[in-house]
Structure 1
């Protein structure tokens, strides 16, 4: 008897099988048929019922690595935070959101897959760049930031805090992690947006320690 799945269960099975294959074989070398072979009781028709194409599948896998938009929307409307604090909260949620981490931790090696990484970064940019720019303008107004070119500085923030720490591009070891943090902190502070303040770095370190205790890696 063929096992029946709810729509949510079916999507999860498909995405898990696809993620495993993208890590093992790479995105280009993985076919829909390969994915179907990994599924228990789901047909190719079922896969296409939930996803239009392989591109649609990898985009859904990448979305697992990014917190839900509602989390960032809540930060955006908070009136108890300065512009700088909104930037910090946005970046912190992007790095350490608990649910997102639990959904994606098993598949961190996907960040070493070229196609996946490109899609992931594009999604991060689409979700956060405009918000960071808006928060810099707010920070310039409330005095928490002093940035001459908010749009360009938003891109630099994401490059330094996300891209620079991706092992697929720049190897980050336990030995050089804090040197990179110090360097990024200096550059951002000189640019008028002290995102990596002492308090924020301490908060990051505390979160990393919790992750390590739970068996996760940075």
Structure 2
């Protein structure tokens, strides 16, 4: 394909990685990881995130409050906080590291080896960011399912369910993994474009050429 060049692949990888980073950042601070609605009072909706718990009512609107104690949080939320902050940091470093390695960027000009290493480093960081995004979201999703189907809870008690932030976290993590993979694809395409071309007078072709005896027809 004409448009599938190394330069376009690099920019696509950066765009996908940046989109995953923004989605991961929004997921980190969005108080919609879990939602709960009571059948006894349908006008109230509870929301829970990594940093805040919110209550929505039709009369007042949404009111959020930060958690009183970090040590009092469940273990899955404590782990998710650390992993999501790591994801945001490594995702930002991935974008910053890969940007100077793009073709056409007037940084590290004349040093293709350095640009190649920056793209590889950006791809590794993007992969790490994607994994540290998917892991906490999956952990919270697992604990939510276990608590939802826990037979020890009375049936009349409301239970937490998935919120919108869970799905945005999965989307952001996958985008970061795809962006990192595209960086590696761009590096492979660049190596293929810079491969040495064989010429008709090259020694390899001379060694591989067949010699025939010249015969004359009388």
Same fold (TM over 0.5): no
Work out which structure has the larger RCO, using CA pairs closer than 8 Å and 6 or more positions apart in sequence: 2
Identify the structure with the greater helix proportion: 1
TM-score normalized with structure 1 length: 0.29
